[in-house]
Every structure is written in structure tokens, then in C-alpha cells.
Amino acid sequence: MNSQGELWNELIQNLVHRLDILPDKQEETPESTLSALWWKACGKSLSVIAAKKSGDLPEISSGQKKVLHELIDRRLSGVPLAHLTGRQHFMGLELLVSADALVPRKETELLVGEALELLKKMASEKDHLIYIDVCTGAGNLPVSLVSRVSDVKAFAADLSVDAVRLAQENVNLFNLGERIKVLEGDLLSPFESEEFLGKVDLLTCNPPYISSGKVADMHSEISDHEPDLAFDGGPFGIAILRKLIGEAPRYLRPGGWLAFEVGLGQGGKMLKRMKKKNDYQVLRPVLDENEDIRVILAQM
């Protein structure tokens, strides 16, 4: 066995015994994690998904071996793999990620898939769609949607200036600067103008929905390394959800859609609240593979 093969086996054994894999990151096996970090040490940034598909690993120099060991130590200390590689695979795209915003989760692809179908249908019936994404984080929702649907003008916003910067980097990475404008502001406050009021075709949001008291109890890989703003949804986890469903009708056109993600156990409560408000003519829950409501679609 060559030295590279011996190194691989040695490092895999270390990861097998020490790597803590979170339930929502099952793709980060010891093998895929080592592959992604190996590529990073050799100077190429790949998400864990892209690394799994990359084929044979490159030859690694003695200096790069030192970098690889340092990366593994940081990963085992709890630093998220995506923070180390600087990449996350989402809806088939290799996105830039950092500690400045929530690392896009695969579960949010359910929201994007539903929003994509809504956009496609509206695009077949109407020209020049206006689409807004709030709590945009890394910009993964607007980048994923606008890259797949033409004739859409998108606007994204986040309260965090660091998240806005990261989202803009992803917009630039995919050459979408002429179609997506990223703004800083609290929820829908950047859109308080005649350009948007009553004229938005689609509004999406993946909001913070963890109750404040539970944020500190989350796994340290999350609570120690990802921004609290991305998780903290207030005392009961629904403060931002309540604000969103209350403000959205002012911006949506008749027939326009609101699409947002909810936490486990929150879907039923949100649907009841929205029915009482009587602002929406259609309310549609979307279930995940475990039959839990994780997305709500609402039409004006």
C-alpha cells in the first residue's frame, strides 16, 4: 500500500471513532468528510457532496498533509465542515458559506421546490414577476430560484450586514447581479415603497423558528459556530413567523403567494392563526418525508 493509501486509512479510523455526525447532516460520513478536507488541503474548495463525486483524490504533499491534519482537528473540535471548506451543496448548486449566515440545510430544499413550482406556473401566465426573499442568509433561496426561472426580478433582505455581504457574493458567483438585488433590513422593512406594496408575486422566507430558551441547548456545532440571529425565533419560536404572516398581505398582489418554512410542531398553529386572519384565500401545508408540516403556502 502506498503512503497516500496508508494516510487515508489512518485518518479514516480517527474520524470513525471521533466524528459526531448530526442528524440533519447524514451526508457527512467519515469518508465524505475526509474527502472534502483532503481537497481543501490541496487547494480546492468542494462541498461534501461535490467531494463525494470528485473521483480519485489528488496527490498530497508533506505541507498539505500538515494542513489536512489541522483541518481534521478543527472539524473534530466542532467547527462545521461547510465552514472549513467554504462550500455547501444546495439544490444542485455549490454555494459559498461562512460563519456569517446559516449553512443552508437540505430540509430547506422542500421550500425551494414548492416555490419553484409556483414561480414556474406564474411565469407561464404573467410577465415580469417580482419575487422577494427575507431572512435570506447566504442567499440560497433567491439564487436557486432565479437561476431556474427567467423573467423574474428578485430582491433579498437580511437584518445581518454580514449575511447580506455573503448573499451578494453568491449572487455575484452565479452572475445574477442584474436579476437579484440584496438589501439590509428587518424582514420586509426594506420594501416599504410603491414599487412593492400590493405588487409582489412571490414572497419566501426561511425564518428563525427556534425558541430563545432552546438556542443555547442546541448542539455545540450549531450554537457555537452559527449566528444566533439565524435560529432565535423569540420566546416561543414564532415571533418572526407571526410578524411575517401579519405583514405579508400588504406586499402581495391578489393571487400572489407567501411560502415559508416552519419548525417541527409549528405548522398546525400557524395554519390556525392564518385562517383566523382571513387574509389568504388558499392555505396549503406541505409535509416532509416524516409527514410533518415543514412548509406553508398561502395565496392572497
List all residues 6 or more positions away from 261 whose beta carbon is below 8 Å from its beta carbon.
107, 108, 110, 111, 205, 206, 207, 209, 294, 295
pLDDT at residue 209 in the model: 67
Residues 149 and 24 placed together within one structural domain of the fold: no
The CATH number assigned to the domain holding 23 equals 1.10.8
One domain, residues 276 and 136: yes
Instruction: Report the domain count for the chain.
Output: 2
- What's the confidence (pLDDT) of residue 55? 84
Contacts of 90 (CB under 8 A, 6+ apart): 104, 106, 108, 109, 140, 144
d(CA 185, CA 159): 5
Tell me which residue range forms the domain holding 41: 3-85
pLDDT digits (tens, 9 = 90+) for 53-100: 998 899 999 999 999 999 999 999 999 999 999 999 999 999 999 999
CATH number at residue 208: 3.40.50.150
Integer angstrom CA distances of residue 89 from 60, 106, 111, 164, 229:
24, 9, 16, 19, 22
C-alpha grid cell for residue 52? 463525494
- Whether residue 209 is found in the same domain as residue 281: yes
DSSP-derived 3-state class of residue 234: coil
Return the percentage of the chain with pLDDT > 70, whole number: 92
Give the pLDDT means over successive 10-residue stretches in the chain (300 positions).
83 91 87 97 97 92 96 96 97 96 94 98 95 97 97 96 97 98 97 97 88 68 71 70 95 97 92 92 96 97
For 198: left if phi > 0, alpha if psi spans -120 to 50, otherwise beta; the answer is left
Look at residue 1 in the predicted model and tell me its pLDDT.
Answer: 47
For residues 168 and 257, state if they share a domain. Answer: yes
Domain assignment present for residue 92? The answer is: no
Q: Of 40, 53, 29, whose CA–CA distance to 86 is shortest?
A: 40
Residue 217: inside a domain:
yes
